[in-house]
Amino acid sequence: MWKKCENKNTKKCENKNTVCWEKDGFKLTLEEIHSESPILTEKPIIYQDFEISPVVVEEWKELWVKVEDSSGREIEGGEKDARDKKVKVEDSSGREVDNIYFGAQKAKPKPNGWYSFTFRNYLGKSYIRVKFKNGEEIITDPIEVISSKTTLKENEQNGKLPYCQFLRALIDDLINYLATCPFDLRSPTEFYTEEYSYLPSPVFILHTLAHNAEAIIQALQTIWHNPYRKLATEERWVYLNEAKHVDEDTIIMMFKHPEYLQEYKGGELGHLAEFFKNNATDTKYLPLKVYQRQFIETLDNPENRFIKKFMDIILYWCDELERLNILKEDSSHKKQIERLRNYVRYLRADPLFADVGEMKIFPASSQVLLKRDGYRECLNIYRLLHLARIPIFNNIQQAIDNRRIDQLYEFWCFFKLSEMLAKVINGEGAKPKFRIKEGPQGGLEGETEADLGNGYKLVYNKTWEGYTFNFRPDFSLIKDEKNLEVVFDAKFRFDLMELDKDLENLEAEEEAIREGDLEKVVKIEDVYKMHTYRDALQCRASIVVYPGDNPPTEVMFYYSENKNSNDKRKKLEFSSILYSSTCGIGYMGLRPGQKRK
């Protein structure tokens, strides 16, 4: 595990920005250059259902790493000469270090056995991988890469977002969109299939069950009051005094099964025994049992087997959420989940389902499941629980697992913008309908889009052909299938206040390059990109979406084309994106939990 690096003579920590990790006879030292905050957290940070790595480094800050003998002895090695950059580093066991990687990217060799690396445009979990020339590899415990815009403190400080709270709000909001928005899944006529054995995200399941708890209970109550019964034929052998009717099949089965005949010894049924007389021995027989075919209504049918399986799934996830400690005492979903679990457990033990067998084949084409009250709602929620297996949700789940906060923010912005635009177009309460197209190799083919109504749609990652290159903005607002109106780009690292300062200085980019401030260079290039989008794609506006804290009335900052105006910046309402002819470059603050008019 990661720990502070101590001087072996004084037993004191040498540097707050240096940590060590030991395994298999060697020690790895990691140091963050030009950092103001400690690299190792004072205590483990556990926030609800995820744990932050104890080693936290900032994006765009240079990291140095070195491999040593576990005793602290310097390892032989270094640069051979200025032209040969291959570094020979060897530990006491004779293993020679080939390369050191941060995630999948290779670190740069430095003198005296050091390697350097800088995380660029990457946020979330990562790790350090040491690769030896003999083929062996050693991987460290995870490290957490955060943005300089975030802090590990519980509350916002100096304009920095609280990392844990922002990440949790982002995930909760995003999963809530996935659990409540309508989706239209489209696939090509021919595609490869691959078994996806991973379970859906527990967070996704939590939101889905909590949001649909009352609907599930009402659906099961409807089924309990009026369960579907199927008319079935039951064939059996009954005693003669239990027979209710006799037909031609009954007579034929008597002669086919003589083992059910017994010798007649006198009584009231002599006339019947005459039919079973053995003329050779003059012996008469009577049937002990007769064949009966009865039509009965049974609950053991594919539809009720599905409902039984559905209840088992609900109970499994309720118990699993409690086991994973996702349900907290202060959780807004705890009461709904507990009420749902208690009711489903009570109904599952009802004698109604005692004779219902286990589901072996999913009755996908059953008209009862598709149309009958109660069954229809359970089927819809069953499908919703498996929604996370769709390719787009696989990508989102990977981003959640790796805490790729920049990717999650981009996904969230797509759903949030779609919701806001749909309300502007169709009024309060309107929801967009998302169309997802699956590619022949799995994953997404082309673009995922949100139908906003009235001919508008918002398309995610659509490629547009410019007059020199192809461009792919994050979100494209299209009208009538062909007219590109506005493009949006989600920029988690963007800061409008810093941008204002940089725009006043015409040499800001050159200064940033000279100072080695790569983060500022990237932010300035983001602005250039928005101008490029607007000019190359001939759209009305290109807008940066970033996690700002703008007041509700200051939805957007817009730079006008009016060259005669002294103040080229305007404040516009969000609806102006659709119903205004103003052109230029915009900046729009959006963050989870933000209240807006």
Model pLDDT, residue 192: 41
Res. 176: pLDDT tops 90: no
- The pLDDT of 468-491, averaged and rounded, is 88
Model pLDDT, residue 238: 85
How many other CB atoms sit within 10 Å of the CB of residue 53? 20
Torsion of CA 438, 442, 447, 448, to 10 degrees: 60
Beta-strand pair 470-471/541-546: unpaired
Least confidently predicted of 216-230, 369-383, 432-446: 432-446
Res. 90: pLDDT tops 60: no
- The pLDDT of 205-211, averaged and rounded, is 83
The DSSP result for 203-265, as a single string, is HHHHHHHHHHHHHHHHHHHHHHHS---EEEEEEEEEEGGG-----HHHHHHHHH-GGGEEE--
What does the alpha-carbon distance between residue 246 and residue 337 come to, in Å, rounded to a whole number? Answer: 55
Model pLDDT, residue 558: 59
Model pLDDT, residue 79: 41
Higher pLDDT: 251 or 326? It is: 251
The top-scoring range by mean pLDDT among 74-88, 394-408, 479-493, 555-569 is 479-493
What does the alpha-carbon distance between residue 462 and residue 471 come to, in Å, rounded to a whole number? Answer: 8
Least confidently predicted of 270-274, 358-362, 513-517: 513-517
Res. 309: pLDDT tops 90: yes
Q: Could you state, in order of their start, the residue ranges of all structural domains in the chain?
A: 2-146, 201-226+302-385, 230-298, 404-589
Model pLDDT, residue 189: 40
The distance from CA 390 to its chain's CA centroid, rounded to whole angstroms, is 10
Q: What is the largest CA-CA distance in the chain?
A: 126
What is the model's pTM? Answer: 0.66
Angle at 9 between CA 6 and CA 10, to 5 degrees: 65
What does pLDDT average to over the chain? 77
Is residue 452 within 8 A of residue 425, CB to CB? The reply is yes
Higher pLDDT: 19 or 391? It is: 19
- The pLDDT of 199-209, averaged and rounded, is 76
Res. 525: pLDDT tops 50: yes
What does the alpha-carbon distance between residue 140 and residue 160 come to, in Å, rounded to a whole number? Answer: 29
Backbone φ, ψ for residue 168 (5° rounding): -65, -45
pLDDT tens digits, residue range 99-130?
899 988 999 998 888 899 998 878 888 889 98
Higher pLDDT: 560 or 352? It is: 352
pLDDT tens digits, residue range 251-282?
888 888 888 888 888 777 777 777 778 878 87
Is residue 51 within 8 A of residue 45, CB to CB? The reply is yes
Least confidently predicted of 368-377, 450-459, 509-518, 524-533: 509-518
- The pLDDT of 567-591, averaged and rounded, is 75
